[in-house]
Amino acid sequence: MKEILVASGKGGVGKTTVAASLAVFLSDRGFKLVTVDADVDAPNLSITLGGGKTKALHEITISHKAVINPEKCSNCGKCVETCQFGAVARLEKSEPPVIAEILCEGCGACVVACPEKAIRLEERRTGELRVEETKYGFPLVTGKLVLGEHNSGHLVTSAKKFGRLEAEKSGASLLVVDGAPGIGCPVIASVAGADYVLAVTEPTPAAKRDLERLIHVVKHFGVPCGMVINRADLSPKYRKEIREKISRKLAIPVLGEIPIDYEVLKALNSMTPIIRFNPEAKASKALKAIFKEVAETVLEGKAHA
């Protein structure tokens, strides 16, 4: 089983657009695959693929939250002192401390600290995993995090696990994973176990810096990586800087550039991957050349051109 992750550091540079078209391209090329939306905060791959028929919905309950029993609480305040996460506070002197569940990381330190055994951990929903059949013939597993949860990494890991199970069921041997922005917990969970990271960026100072941070994380995990410069004509200066200061310096090849193309916006709002919406669009042609390279080097064992 191979796993390709589309990631970016900065949000809004085109991860989901690239991931949706990549999945359609590889599927057209004959690869049996499963797509996974690992941007569990803001999962958008389903919309970009035009929605699908839900085959299964799984509740994921791996979070724990501390709960105080006010009957047993002696109001000693040890839990407030103990909590490293600022999730326990005393609002009124005469009342038991309040735990803000949304801030509670479920570590259980307050349970240990409480001399009255007045605090216990309770299970809470972390999120859901939805398995859909897309109109392109491959399934999509979407992770969706409960609002405000901190366990996004665990949910991403579960989403990928379900993606693999789905792949085994349908005889697929490839996962195409759409990652979250950032470089923290959910991104680390998506990079772990990936065979290749396709990093999407754009030629702006912010995207360049975020790309650099992402690549350091990807390299730390030893995962091979290539990059795509989206909206490449946005700034010649930063396009050059990304090529010279990041691609060359960090030895990450630029697989191609996608020009600014309003057809991409139209495709997004018609909820169709751009390479299907308008296969002749400038952006589609650029994407297909990039995907061909990904298919050949990552999946078909050829050397980089």
Partner 1 sequence: MRENEARFLNVKPVDVPVLAVTGGKGGTGKTTVAVNLAAALSMKGLSVLLVDADVDCPNVAVLLGIELKNGEEIRFFKPEIDEEKCVRCGKCAEVCLEHALVHAKDAVPAFFEELCSGCGACRLVCPVDAIKEGYKVLGKIFSSKTGSLEVVTGELRLTEARSPLVVKATKDYAYKMAMHGGYDLIIVDTAPGIHSSVVRALQGADFALAVTEPSHLGAHDLERILQLGKEIRISLAVVLNRADIPSGIKSRIYGLCDSYGVEIVSEIPFDEELLKAYVNRVPVVQYNLKCPSAQALSTLADYVSRRLG
10 contacts partner 1 (rule: CB under 8 A): yes
> Which of 205, 244, 249, 279 is the binder for partner 1 (CB under 8 A)?
205
Residue listed under structure tokens 């970009």: 48
- Nearest-approach distance from CB 298 to partner 1, in angstroms: 23
Q: Which two tokens stand for residue 142?
A: 């979407």
Q: Does 41 bind partner 1 (CB under 8 A)?
A: yes
Rounded Cα distance between 175 and 191, Å, is 13
Q: Which stretch binds partner 1 (CB under 8 A): 29-37, 165-173, 185-193, 291-299?
A: 185-193
Cα–Cα nearest to 199, from 83, 80, 290: 290
Q: Exactly one of 23, 34, 183, 274 binds partner 1 (CB under 8 A); which one?
A: 183
> What number of chain residues touch partner 1 (CB under 8 A)?
69
Cα separation values, 173 from 19, 54, 166, 195, Å:
17, 22, 10, 12
Does 173 sit near partner 1 (CB under 8 A)? Answer: no
Retrieve residue 192's tokens.
């772990």
User: Rule CB under 8 A: is residue 73 a binding residue for partner 1?
Assistant: no
117: left (phi over 0), alpha (psi -120 to 50) or beta: left
Within positions 89 to 108, which residues make up the interface with partner 1, using CB under 8 A? 89, 91, 98-103, 105-108
Using CB under 8 A, which of the segments 53-61, 145-153, 163-171, 245-253 binds partner 1? 145-153
Among 112, 165, 251, 289, binds partner 1 (CB under 8 A): 112
150 part of the interface to partner 1, by CB under 8 A:
yes
- C-alpha to C-alpha distance for 260 and 301, rounded to whole angstroms: 31
Instruction: Establish if 80 lies at the interface with partner 1 (CB under 8 A).
Output: no
Task: Give the SS3 label for residue 247.
Answer: helix
Asked if 197 contacts 223 with a C-beta cutoff of 8 angstroms, the reply is yes
Among 135, 237, 249, 304, binds partner 1 (CB under 8 A): 237
How far apart are alpha carbons 47 and 102 in whole angstroms? Answer: 28
Contact 284, 295 (CB under 8 A): no
Select the span of 129-137, 263-271, 279-287, 292-300 touching partner 1 (CB under 8 A): 263-271
In the numeric block, which tokens belong to residue 250?
């960090």
Residue 1 as a binder of partner 1 (CB under 8 A): the answer is no
Residue 7 has φ and ψ, to the nearest 5°, of -140, 175
**Termini Cα distance of the chain:** 24
Among 209, 248, 302, 304, binds partner 1 (CB under 8 A): 209
**135 near partner 1, judged by CB under 8 A:** no
| Assigned token pair, 35 | 């797509």
CA-based torsion, 296, 167, 268, 13: positive or negative:
negative
Helix (H) or strand (E) holding 290: helix 282-294
Task: Decide: is 11 part of the binding site for partner 1 (CB under 8 A).
Answer: yes
- Using CB under 8 A as the binding rule, whether residue 177 contacts partner 1 is answered as no
Cβ proximity to partner 1, 205 vs 300, nearer residue: 205
Of residues 250 and 296, the one with the C-beta less far from partner 1: 250
Residues within the interface to partner 1 (CB under 8 A): 9-13, 16, 39-42, 44, 47-48, 64, 82, 84-86, 89, 91, 98-103, 105-109, 111-113, 145, 147-150, 152-153, 180-188, 204-206, 209-210, 213, 216-217, 220, 234-235, 237-238, 262, 265-266, 268-269, 271
